[in-house]
Chains A and B, each alone.
Chain A
Amino acid sequence: MRDVAIIGVGMNKKWGELWEVSLRDLFVEAALNAIENAGVDHIDSMYVGCMSSGLFTGQEHVGAMMADYLGQCPVPATRVESACASGGAAVRAGFMEIASGMSDIVLVGGVEKMTDVDGDEATYALATAADQEWEAFNGVTFPGLYAMMAVAHMHRYGTTVQQLASVAVKNHLNGSKNPRSQFPMKITVDTVLNSVMVADPLHILDCSPITDGAAAIILCPADRAKALCKNGAPVKIIGSGQASDTIAFHSRADLTTIESTAKAAAKAYAMAGKKPEEMQVVEVHDCFTIAEIMVTEALGLVEKGKGGPAVESGETAIDGRIPVNPSGGLKSKGHPVGATGVAQMVEVVEQLRGESGDRQVKGARLGMTQNMGGTGASSLVHILEVM
C-alpha cells in the first residue's frame, strides 16, 4: 500500500439554510475550492459522500451527477453512503484508491441538501439511519435514540445535563470563531437547559442542526504530495480505521459505549503507530452533546465514564489538554450529513497547516477525525500528520 496525502481542501462558502443553492451547486462549489487549493489540473476519480439525497431532494445517482456538473466526466464517480458517516466512508474509499495504486489524484467530497423538506420529513429521513422495522417503526427519532444513550450513560456514570450542555457551550464558543459556521453565536449552560426539550433529557441546543453544506479534499500519493501541492503543507493520512456494530441501538453489547468508534480507533492507532495521548487536535461527531462525551471515551482521549467531567473542566477546550472540535463541531458549524466526515478532514488539515486563525490549536502536528453513522453502527477514524 502507498502512503496517502491530502494536498487540497475546500468547502462551500457558508453552511446553513441556503435557499438559493441547490444540491449540485453546493457540491461543485466545495469541490472547485478544493481543486483550486490543491492546484491540480485534473483528477482521476471522485467519491461523493451523501446520506439521503433521495429523501431530501428526490435525487439519486449523485456520483455521476456531480462528475457531470463538475465538468469531470468521464472520470469514475461513486456515491458512498454510511448514514452520517458517509463523508468519512468516502474519505476511506478515496484513501484506498490511492493506497492501492489504482489512481493518483482523487477528489473526495461530501454534501447534503436538507432544507428543501419540512421538519417532520427531515426527522423521518434522518431516522432511516436507524433500524426501520425495529426502531423507527415504533416511533423513535435520532434525538430519541441519543437521549436514551444519555440516560444509560447518566445512570451508570453520573454524567449530568450540565456536562452535556458544556459540550454545546464549548462548541459554540469555537464556532463563533469559524466564518463558515451555521450558528456562530455563543451560548451558556443556562441557555441550553432552558431551550425547548426535544427528547428528554436532550434540549434543542443539545442537538446538531439541519444544514445545507459541502466539503471536499484532494488526495494523492504521499511521495508526489510536495511536488503537486500548491498551497500550504501537504498532510499525510497515517491511519485509517473503520468498524461496524449492530444497526439497532438496543442490540449493542453495552449501551454506554460506542464500540464501533473504539474498534475503528484501535485500527487507526495501530496503522499510524500512535497512541491516544499523542493526538493534538481532534474533530469528533457531536451530532448530540452526549455523543461527543461518549466518543472522547471511545477514542481513549479520556477515561471511560469521565467524558462529562472532562468537558466541564475545560480539558477539551481549544487551549485544553486535548482540543476537541475546534471548528465548532456539528453543533455550531452545522451537520449536512454527508459532508460532515469530509469537513472534519478539512478542519484538521487547516489546523495542521496553521491556517485556523482565531481557533488555531497552537503547534498542532498530529490530528484525528472521528465520524459515525446512526447511533454508532458505523465509525470511521482517520489520523493525520503534517508532512
Chain B
Amino acid sequence: MSTARAWREYPRRYRYEAATCKKCGKVFFPARLICDACGHREFEVKPMARTGTILAHTVIRVPPAPFKDQAPYAMAVVEMDAGPRLTCQVVDLQEGQLKVGQKVRLEFRKVFQEGPAGPIQYGYKAVPV
C-alpha cells in the first residue's frame, strides 16, 4: 500500500478524529465532505472518546494476504459512545468477552506490516474493558 494512502488517514487512525455536522449534529467517522442526513457542508472536527460497545463479532480464521500470520483473530462492529460505528480487531480477549454488548476501548496497535522491509501500518483495535 502506498505510504501516502496510509498517511492521509493518520488523523482518523491515530487520533480517532470524527466530524460533527454543524447543522444536524450527526457524527461521522471518518469525516466527510457532505452530511448524508441533511446535506450540510460544514463540520466540527475533533477526536472521539475511545469507548464503545460491540454490536456484532466474528473470528477470522482464513485471513487476507497481509494478515496471514495473525489468524485466528477476532473482529467486531463497534458502536462508539460518540455515535459512529467502526469495524476493527478485538485483542487481549479473556474467555467470554467476545459478545454483543461487550464494552471496549480503542488502543493504538500495529495493524499489519508489509514484510520485513516494508512500512508498519498502525491503527486502532478494540480491547475489552
Contact = CB atoms under 8 A, between A and B. Distances in A.
Touching chains A and B, CB distance < 8 Å = yes
B24 interface: no
A249 B87 contact: yes
A243 to B, nearest CB: 15
Contacts of B77: 148, 152, 249-250, 255
A121 B65 CA distance: 6
Given A138-B75, A139-B112, A124 B64 contact: yes
Contact of A133 (B9, B58, B76, B124): B9
Contacts of A251: 85
Interface string B93-128: 000000010000000000110000000010111000
Interface residues of A, number: 37
B88 A138 contact: yes
Contacts of B65: 120-121, 123-124
B89 interface: yes
A119 B67 CA distance: 13
The secondary structure that dominates the B interface is strand
B82 to A, nearest CB: 14
Interface string A264-293: 000000000000000000000000000000
Interface residues of B, number: 34
Interface in B12-62: 30, 55-62
A144 B67 contact: no
A117 to B, nearest CB: 10
Nearest to B36: A246
A151 interface: yes
Contacts of A139: 60, 63-64, 66-67, 70, 73, 75, 89, 111-112
Given A120-B64, A124-B64, A138-B123, A250 B58 contact: no
Contacts of A131: 87
> Among the interface residues B68, B73, B77, B121, which one has the most CB atoms of the partner chain A within 10 A?
B77
Nearest to A151: B56
Given A133-B30, A155-B100, A197 B61 contact: yes
Nearest to B74: A200
Interface in A139-164: 139-141, 143-145, 147-149, 151-152, 155
A140 B75 contact: yes
B62 A199 contact: yes
Contact of B75 (A120, A134, A144): A144
Interface in A150-201: 151-152, 155, 196-201
Nearest to B67: A139
A120 B57 contact: no
A123 B64 contact: yes
Which has the most chain A C-beta neighbours within 10 Å: B59, B70, B78? B59
A199 B60 contact: yes
A136 interface: yes
Give 10 nearest A-B pairs by CB, closest first: A147-B58, A148-B56, A120-B65, A250-B85, A152-B56, A200-B59, A124-B64, A250-B77, A151-B56, A199-B58
Given A133-B9, A199-B62, A200-B58, 6 more contacts: A123-B65, A138-B87, A138-B88, A155-B100, A199-B59, A250-B87
19 contacts: A120-B63, A120-B68, A123-B62, A123-B63, A123-B65, A134-B86, A136-B64, A138-B75, A139-B60, A139-B64, A139-B75, A139-B111, A140-B87, A143-B62, A148-B76, A152-B100, A202-B58, A251-B85, A255-B77
Interface of A: 119-121, 123-124, 127, 131, 133-141, 143-145, 147-149, 151-152, 155, 196-202, 248-251, 255
Interface of B: 9, 30, 55-68, 70, 73, 75-78, 85-89, 100, 111-112, 121, 123-125
